[in-house]
Amino acid sequence: MQRAYVHATGADFAASHGDQLLGALTRSLPFPVEPPQRAAWQFEIAHLQGIGAVLPDAHIFLEFAIPRMGRRADAVIVAGGLIFVLEYKVGERDFPRHAIEQVHGYALDLKNFHVTSHDKAIIPLLIASEAPPQQLGLGFWAEDRVHAPIRVNPGDVLPTIRRMIAVGDGSSFDARVWADGHYRPTPSIIEAAEALYRGHDVREISRSEAGAENLTLTAAAIGRVIDRMKTEGGKTICFVTGVPGAGKTLAGLNIACDRMAGDVGEDATFLSGNGPLVDVLREALKRDVRARRGRPAAGDGDARHLAERSPDKFVQNVHHFRDEYLLGSIPSEHVVVFDEAQRAWDRKQTADFMRKKRGQAGFDMSEPAFLLSVMDRHPAWCVVVCLIGDGQEINRGEAGVAEWVRALQGNLRHWQVHLPPHLLTDGGLDAGLRWHLQQRAAVPDPALHLAVSVRSFRAETVSHYVAAVLGDDAAAARAAQPVAQHFPLWRTRDLAKARAWLRAQRRATERAGLLASSNALRLKPEGIYVKADVDVCNWFLNPVEDVRSSNALEDAATEFAVQGLELDWTCVAWDLNLRRTASGWEAREFRGTRWTAIHGDGAALGRADYVRNAYRVLLTRARQGMVIFVPRGDAEDATRPPADYDAIDAWLAACGIPAL
């Protein structure tokens, strides 16, 4: 990826002809330059040439890549051992909050994800070209040496840079070596979807070189299968697995986006049974398109992505997709990606739903069997990609990968099967299903397993730690505890303290939120009512000043609202539906006026497992840090005995989580 469209020393930048610099910028853009963009660049070039003439030893970068966001900062100036990130708002008199958060976010992304910026001091500058002169003073430095955004007009920029250099303690460094440092971004799934939809390559937005390689190999393997089916004809199912945090959803979005081209006889869609995930991704994409007024911005990969693709077509709810094809029509999509395919419903759950909710009394198929039969209607070719997760089943009737194999045993024996090697040995299948796969599968392909985590660099060990906390060995949990400097983890008995901590941590465009289990009904006296409806689109996407936003810390989202999505900072409120006893964890549910224990029901995945998995989901939503709130209870309330809450808090302490 081209790190900057133009870069030069201050002296060389000042000596260059403005039209020459403008031409270099224009040639780097993958689409025609709109008049507003041209005018903005002309203003920036003239302004920066004046700065370069006064600071000849500085280094100036124009359109500097910020891969996690899939965007480019207008300019970066390296001078006096400091990094200045500049965002211009040409024609503006004011400094809106979203613009402040934008430039602050660029600075934070450099600090967190650009390796050679980890130890540098970074100052974000927001420049409103028509603003009056600002009162300048020393601002706030955070512990990570990222300065609070400074609001300036064009005439304030040079004095601000000089003042910061004068009081700074940074050592000079080679700006070109700095710029070439590895970038290891970890986008949220919302940011990733937006970037892919705008035409960015998955290499640009995945964290590590190994992770990018892994995702690219998987995409290439699936691409070869699709190309062969399209050329030779035939029908194929591909199973894609991955370690926790490996980016299965990112891989699926990448495949669907890459193949969404109905004009060449392909067309693809990304299907998920996770309704909140679908709603949030669709709404995020629509807002992103509206914000750009349908136009690509500097740094976008391919203008066609905004002009020709519908977010509603790109991401679909699997249940709506199923209902649309009940009457026997042939899907327009030849390539379908099923996210969290192990959560597809078994025959009983699907039949019950179709009878009660859709009036289909004779429906007697599992969801995998029906969905594959729909795709089998294509006369020539199709490819189904199943993304397989583990330990995420949180609802009744979620069948696992075995149900897909059973569907293939029926009338679909003409389908080819592609899978990673480990599904034939330790994929959780019984001997009969493994034997069937061995007879049917093509040569197992290691590229269909995502073996490298692309989870946030701060949170990459959290899933392992959470598994230990939800187990029975406190010493093992302590040994797996994340490094506090990378992922702060606290516990508290005071919800007000938890909220204050979240507000203190959140910066720029980061998101914080309250989380609680869907059956945590006795958190209601604490002001957390899990039965209240939460509009997930507003909760995940709206700005901090909106009381419906997660950042307002008013509404708590449950495991059903947040599975597959992430926040930067979370507070998980723990209730007595999963309590700690002398013999270990006990799952319970609240019925009427009392708690009742949940016992095994003979199923492969019992109801108690769903409760534990709910907490597993809640405890792994944070990208940067988490606080766990355990109420104190009330001795006068039989449903909230203090001793039970104390036992949970004591276990968390034994697992190494300090008190806030």
Interacting residues of 181 by C-beta distance below 8 A, sequence separation 6+: 114, 115, 116, 117
Cβ proximity of 516 and 573 under 8 Å: yes
Residue 307 above 50 pLDDT?
Answer: no
The arrangement of secondary structure in 189-450, i.e. its CATH architecture, is 3-Layer(aba) Sandwich (3.40)
Nearest-5° angle of CA 458, CA 198, CA 506?
30
pLDDT number for residue 100: 95
How confident is the model over 273-295, as a mean pLDDT? Answer: 81
CA angle 440, 411, 315 (to 5 degrees): 85
Q: Do domains 4-179 and 189-450 have the same CATH topology?
A: no
Helices (H), strands (E): how many in the chain? 25, 21
Range picked from 198-212, 223-237, 607-621 for highest mean pLDDT: 223-237
Say yes or no to pLDDT of 601 above 60: no
Task: Please give the pLDDT value at position 80.
Answer: 94
pLDDT reported for residue 22? 95
Mean pLDDT computed over 403-416: 89
Is residue 376 scored above 60 in pLDDT?
yes
Q: Give the range among 29-43, 77-91, 107-121, 252-266 with minimum mean pLDDT.
A: 252-266
Alpha helices by DSSP H, listed for 414-513, are 431-440, 462-469, 474-479, 495-505
> According to the model, what pLDDT value does residue 201 have?
66
Rank 204-208, 244-248, 492-496, 607-611 by mean pLDDT and report only the highest: 492-496
What pLDDT is stored for residue 191 in this prediction? 81
Question: In whole angstroms, what is the distance from residue 130 CA to residue 372 CA?
Answer: 59
In the prediction, which pLDDT does 140 show? 85
pLDDT at 607: 75
With 60 as the cut, is the pLDDT of residue 158 above it? Answer: yes
Alpha helix stretches (DSSP H) within 122-185: 154-167, 175-179
pLDDT band per the 50, 70, 90 thresholds, residue 203: low
Amino acid 13: pLDDT? 97
Which one has a higher pLDDT value, 391 or 549?
549
> What is the predicted pLDDT for the residue at 8?
96
> pLDDT by residue (tens digit) across 17-45?
999 999 999 998 877 888 989 999 999 99
273 or 49, higher pLDDT = 49
From residue 500, give the alpha-carbon distance in Å to each of 263, 504, 552: 52, 6, 11
Task: Read off the pTM.
Answer: 0.83
1.10.12, 1.10.10, 1.10.275, 3.40.1350: which CATH number matches 4-179? Answer: 3.40.1350
3-state SS, one letter per residue, for 263-323 = HHCCCEEEEECCHHHHHHHHHHHHHHHHHCCCCCCCCCCCCHHHHHCCHHHHEEEHHHHHH
Q: What is the mean pLDDT of the chain?
A: 87
**Where do the domains of the chain lie?**
4-179, 189-450, 462-654
At 303 the pLDDT is: 43
CA distance 294 to 286: 10
Indicate the angle between helix axes 275-291 and 189-197, nearest 10 degrees: 50
Mean pLDDT of 201-217: 64
Q: Which of 259-268, 348-357, 446-455, 624-633 has the highest mean pLDDT?
A: 624-633
Distance (Å, whole) CA 566 – CA 646: 29
Cβ–Cβ < 8 Å for 442, 224:
no
Which range is least confidently modeled, 32-46, 74-88, 241-255? 241-255
The confidence band for 362, taking pLDDT boundaries of 50, 70 and 90, is confident
Segment among 17-26, 71-80, 357-366 with least mean pLDDT: 357-366
Range with lowest mean pLDDT among 141-155, 225-239, 442-456: 442-456
Mean pLDDT, residues 460-469:
88
* pLDDT exceeds cutoff 70 at 440: yes
Q: b or e along 243-279 (b: 16 or more beta carbons within 10 Å of the residue's beta carbon)?
A: bbbbbbbbbbbbbbbbbbeeeeebbbbbbbbbebbbb
The proportion of the chain whose per-residue pLDDT surpasses 90, expressed as a percent, equals 55
Task: Specify the DSSP element, H or E, that contains 537.
Answer: helix 536-541
Q: Which CATH number fits domain 462-654: 3.30.720, 3.10.129, 3.40.1800, 3.40.50?
A: 3.40.50
Is 77 or 299 the better-scoring residue by pLDDT? 77
For residues 115-122, give the mean pLDDT: 92
Q: Which of 5-14, 235-244, 274-283, 388-397 has the highest mean pLDDT?
A: 5-14
Q: Which segments within 120-249 are labelled E, that is strand?
A: 121-128, 150-152, 234-242
CA distance 373 to 396: 23
Type of residue at 70? G
Region 375-399: what's the mean pLDDT?
A: 78
The SS3 of residue 211 is helix
Residue showing tokens 């991704």:
281
Strand order in the sheet with 594-597: 578-581, 584-591, 594-597
State the Cα torsion 343-348-353-354 to the nearest 10°: 110
- Residue 6: predicted pLDDT: 94
How far apart are the C-alpha atoms of 291 and 39, rounded to whole Å? Answer: 19
In this predicted structure, the answer to whether residue 398 has a pLDDT above a threshold of 90 is: no
* Residue 495: C-alpha distances to residues 172, 463, 583, 590, 651 (Å): 45, 24, 28, 22, 19
Report CA-CA distances (Å) from 473 to 9, 48, 470. 58, 59, 9
Checking if the pLDDT of 265 tops 80, the result is: no
- Per-residue pLDDT, averaged over 307-311, amounts to 60
549 or 355, higher pLDDT: 549
**Range of weakest confidence among 126-130, 149-153, 319-323:** 319-323
Q: For position 157, what pLDDT does the model report?
A: 96
How far apart CA 369 and CA 404 sit, in angstroms, is: 7
Q: How does DSSP classify residue 146? A: B
Report for 61-75, 186-200, 632-646: range of highest mean pLDDT: 632-646
Exposure of 490 in the CB half-sphere (CA atoms within 13 A): 21
The pLDDT score that the predictor gives to residue 410 is: 82
pLDDT at 305: 47
Structure tokens at 6: 């133009």
Report the percent of the chain where pLDDT is more than 70. Answer: 89
Average pLDDT (382-398) is 72
Lowest mean pLDDT among 283-287, 468-472, 634-638: 283-287
Q: Per mean pLDDT, which range of 382-396, 553-567, 634-648 is the poorest?
A: 382-396
Read off the amino acid at residue 215: L
DSSP alpha helices (H): ranges in 73-153? Answer: 97-113
Would you state the pLDDT for residue 259?
81
